[in-house]
């Protein structure tokens, strides 16, 4: 892999040139590649990118859809930042071609795996934020928001984490958190088990091939156990 050439091509794809090339190198480094090369993976950047993505999209919706109440804004945001949407965004910039993968992940189709592409997309957001600030990160994120955003479709999106959060928010003193219970299997086919807790009590558990999928499954189980029809 010609690192400099690949980074230059990627910068042209996204319309942003990095001052610190190391940060985009890290953003494009999947854990399977990092384990083989003893380098940092993009997981910490993914964590930060998730928060930057949320605040940028939240601010955009708040400013452009002043007629929508809080509950609807939450659901629209959820539809834009969910794994399936990020996967579609990532495909438009051919992100899979630039991600650095370990041999096992490479051989099992990792470049097309939705969870890997969605996580890398968030890591790139964080890289731009750290390198160029919130304004540049906002420009990048908002370039993927559909100009003809279908609010009806977005509001009807079944995002179980959002629904659960809305249920819990009716009691301000309550707090829900998601915890990783287990992660088994090789890097290219890992299975995650996530528990969702209300205060300190487990109210749901879910399994998935990405943490986001497992969190959704855990939230869904919690809602079902609480008597909500899903």
The candidate with the shortest Cα–Cα distance to 220, out of 160, 169, 163, is: 160
- What is the spatial distance between Cα 190 and Cα 48, in angstroms, rounded to a whole number? 22
Is residue 81 over pLDDT 80? yes
**Where residue 150 falls among pLDDT bands split at 50, 70, 90?**
low
- What are the C-alpha distances in Å from 195 to residues 64, 205, 209, 223? 35, 4, 15, 13
Is residue 147 over pLDDT 80? no
Token output for 139:
């420009």
Across residues 34-48, what is the average pLDDT?
Answer: 93
Residue-level pLDDT at 156:
55
Residue-level pLDDT at 3:
57
The candidate with the shortest Cα–Cα distance to 146, out of 98, 94, 92, is: 92
- What is the spatial distance between Cα 198 and Cα 148, in angstroms, rounded to a whole number? 37
Across residues 185-195, what is the average pLDDT?
Answer: 89
- Assess whether 36 carries a catalytic annotation: no
pLDDT digits (tens, 9 = 90+) for 106-120: 888 889 999 999 999
- Assess whether 119 carries a catalytic annotation: no
Is residue 96 over pLDDT 90? yes
Choose, from 119, 122, 159, 187, the residue flagged as catalytic.
122
Percent of the chain scoring above 90 in pLDDT: 58
Across residues 183-210, what is the average pLDDT?
Answer: 91
Choose, from 50, 105, 187, 215, the residue flagged as catalytic.
50
pTM (2 d.p.): 0.73
* Count of Cβ atoms closer than 10 Å to residue 77 Cβ: 20
């Amino acid at each position: 892999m010609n690192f400099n050439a690949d980074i230059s091509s990627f910068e042209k794809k996204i319309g942003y040139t990095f001052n610190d090339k190391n940060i985009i190198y890290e953003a494009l480094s999947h854990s399977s590649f990092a384990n083989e090369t003893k380098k940092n993976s993009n997981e910490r950047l993914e964590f930060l990118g998730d928060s930057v993505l949320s605040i940028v999209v939240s601010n955009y919706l708040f400013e452009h859809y002043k007629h929508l109440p809080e509950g609807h804004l939450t659901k629209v945001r959820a539809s834009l930042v969910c794994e399936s949407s990020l996967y579609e965004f990532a495909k438009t910039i051919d992100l899979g071609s630039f991600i650095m993968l370990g041999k096992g992940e490479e051989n099992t189709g990792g470049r097309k795996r939705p969870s890997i592409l969605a996580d890398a997309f968030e890591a790139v957001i964080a890289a731009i934020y750290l390198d160029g600030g919130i304004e540049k990160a906002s420009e990048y994120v908002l370039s993927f928001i559909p100009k003809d955003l279908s609010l009806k479709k977005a509001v009807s999106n079944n995002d179980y984490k959002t629904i659960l959060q809305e249920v819990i928010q009716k009691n301000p003193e309550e707090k829900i958190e998601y915890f990783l219970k287990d992660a088994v299997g090789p890097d290219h086919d890992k299975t995650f088990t996530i528990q969702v807790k209300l205060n300190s009590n487990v109210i749901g558990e879910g399994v998935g091939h990405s943490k986001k999928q497992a969190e959704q499954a855990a939230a869904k189980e919690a809602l079902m156990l609480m008597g909500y029809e899903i």
